């Protein structure tokens, strides 16, 4: 799952969750479809959100969530929104990152950087 997050005004897509599905392609598509219709990332109170779901391809969904808030000193509620994508993908390879070596301290560090 990817979520759109704003960092200083620049919207970026971040991989926020990976869900392994046992079984084949049809099981993965079914679970992804169900998640697009029910998931509110990081929340358990899904009934407080509106939802618009777009299927963008056979294996991908774009979900817009909306919710209403009433700000102090406001005479009407405001509607906010966020969105995320769900895509079904087949895992084809993984490779663990090598463990970082401790940094040298003192004058040895300065010599090794040259």
> Residue 110: enclosing H or E segment and its boundaries?
helix 107-112
Q: For residue 113, is pLDDT > 70? A: no
CB atoms within 10 A of CB 38: 10
- Name the band, by pLDDT with cuts 50, 70 and 90, for residue 111: low
Task: For residue 19, give both structure tokens.
Answer: 């869900």
Averaged pLDDT, 11-25? 85
pLDDT at 13: 79
Report if pTM > 0.85.
no
Percent share of the chain, pLDDT over 90: 54
Contact between 53 and 63 (Cβ < 8 Å): yes
Gap between the Cα atoms of 6 and 11, Å rounded? 4
Q: Average per-residue pLDDT in the chain?
A: 85
The closest of 71, 79, 62, 84 to 4, measured between CA atoms, is 84
């Amino acid at each position: 799952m990817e979520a759109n997050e704003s960092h200083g005004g620049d919207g970026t897509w971040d991989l926020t969750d990976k869900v392994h599905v046992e079984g084949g392609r049809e099981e993965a598509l079914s679970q992804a479809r169900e998640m697009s219709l029910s998931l509110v990332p990081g929340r358990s109170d899904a009934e407080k959100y509106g939802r618009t779901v777009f299927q963008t391809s056979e294996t991908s969904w774009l979900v817009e969530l909306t919710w209403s808030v009433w700000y102090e000193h406001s005479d009407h509620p405001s509607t906010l929104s966020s969105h995320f994508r769900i895509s079904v993908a087949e895992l084809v390879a993984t490779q663990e990152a090598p463990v970082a070596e401790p940094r040298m301290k003192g004058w040895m560090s300065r010599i090794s950087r040259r």
